[in-house]
Amino acid sequence: MKLNIAVLPGDGIGPEIMQQSVKVLEAVAERFQHEFRFESSPVGAAGIEETGDPLPEATLELCKKSDAVLFGAIGDPKYDNHPEAKIRPEQGLLRLRKELGLFANIRPIKAYKSLLEHSPLRPERIEAADMVIYRELTSGIYYGERSLSEDEKSATDTCTYTVEEIERIAHLAFKSAQKRRKKVTLVDKANVLETSRLWRKTVTRLAKDYPDVDLDFLFVDNAAMQLILNPRQFDLILTENMFGDILSDEASIIGGSIGLLASASVGTTYSLFEPIHGSYPQAAGKGIANPVASILSAAMLLEHFNLTKEAQAVIDAVELSIKLQISTSDIGGGHTTKSVGDFLESLVLEPGNFNNENLR
């Protein structure tokens, strides 16, 4: 298969983790005889520095003409410390999601057997937890009107959802649940918010098209607690933009490190693959960032194009690296970003050297 992949390393640790992902994808191309072409372009603070724009025109063009986008990380403390800054790196990612119509953000979370002891949560609570969060990505409070009053004594953010916006992600979620344990949990705040009531009504109506899938509901505050108390109860969590953002960071604790969590953002035309973690500026350039979240995002890219064997080869390599502790310090290993990438690259090229059978 020929794939043109737009590479947007972004800020902080973005470039170093992205280098590892490209390397692993190149190994996949070599072993399975594909042709992947990579082209890079700046975004976020890197985009502001080069062009004054967190989403330079050329970057957006590149994404639109590519088959898929691989995204690193975004954000720079320089801007965080200046709340009054009008141009912010994050705007680049938010605009990119909107421009590409990436309305569904898919975030799988599972407890790796060999990392059970590593999570701050009790191993017996998280063992065998395996869920996916479907986060709405191009609407809600992230994209509502906002304002700051002239005297700067009040500020407003608004949250709006349309039935259509809810329906399109709910359909994807139900279809995905059909291939999993057939359970969808809608997380909302329907005891308070009108948008949440619209979500409930819409998703309840749609559920009738998927009689084999169980639908239940949780208020977001309770969901935050249940995720820690009993994560095994979840199969697929469907939720709006901001709740999904918050809950997925929380859920990363189950996996042992946010440095392991990958995501796919999809719409009707384009797709983008990015780790859920941020730019981790304190670690930038030190070689300590975990490249696995980005590499597993690359595996999601492969899956998206139905390259199932290829995706599995990457996942197997990652699982083995975790088991053998060829990993970075966030999950208890002593390796650098690059050496983890090197190991995964060699495993993808020559998996026969290791037996991964008893890992699953």
Query: Per CB under 6 A, which of residues 285..344 are in contact with ligand IPM?
Result: none
State how far the alpha carbon of 3 is from the alpha carbons of 36, 45, 101, 134, 150, in Å.
5, 27, 20, 26, 50
Q: How far is the CB of 120 from ligand IPM (least distance, A)?
A: 21
Beta bridge partners of 17: none
Alpha helices in 185-307 (DSSP H): 194-207, 220-229, 241-255, 292-304
Residues labelled as active-site residues: 142, 189, 221, 245, 249
Q: Give the number of other Cβ atoms within 10 Å of residue 93's Cβ.
A: 22
**48: helix, coil or strand?**
helix
| Among the listed residues 111, 276, 284, 320, the single contact to ligand IPM using CB under 6 A | 276
Instruction: Check residue 90 for interaction with ligand IPM (CB under 6 A).
Output: yes
Residue 38 CA to its chain's centroid (Å): 20
Instruction: Check residue 245 for interaction with Mn ion (CB under 5 A).
Output: yes
Q: Which stretch binds ligand IPM (CB under 6 A): 26-34, 89-97, 297-305, 342-350?
A: 89-97
Q: What is the DSSP letter of 113?
A: G
Q: Residue 149 is which amino acid?
A: S
Residue nearest Mn ion, CB atom distance: 245
Instruction: Check residue 136 for interaction with Mn ion (CB under 5 A).
Output: no
**68: helix, coil or strand?**
strand
Q: Is 181 annotated as a binding residue?
A: no
Q: How far is the CB of 245 from Mn ion (least distance, A)?
A: 4
Instruction: Check residue 74 for interaction with ligand IPM (CB under 6 A).
Output: yes
Instruction: Check residue 136 for interaction with ligand IPM (CB under 6 A).
Output: no
Instruction: Check residue 93 for interaction with ligand IPM (CB under 6 A).
Output: yes
d(CA 302, CA 311): 5
d(CA 224, CA 92): 29
Residue nearest ligand IPM, CB atom distance: 90
Q: Is 249 annotated as a binding residue?
A: yes
| Among the listed residues 235, 245, 316, 345, the single contact to ligand IPM using CB under 6 A | 245
Instruction: Check residue 240 for interaction with Mn ion (CB under 5 A).
Output: no
For the chain, how many residues are written? 360
- Are 177 and 134 spatial neighbours (Cβ–Cβ below 8 Å)? no
Query: Per CB under 6 A, which of residues 225..244 are in contact with ligand IPM?
Result: none
- Token couple for 31: 């072993």
Instruction: Check residue 190 for interaction with ligand IPM (CB under 6 A).
Output: no
Between residues 133 and 311, which has the closer beta carbon with respect to ligand IPM? 133
Binding site for ligand IPM (CB under 6 A): 74-75, 90, 93-94, 245, 276, 278
Sequence ranges of the binding site? 97, 107, 135, 221, 245, 249
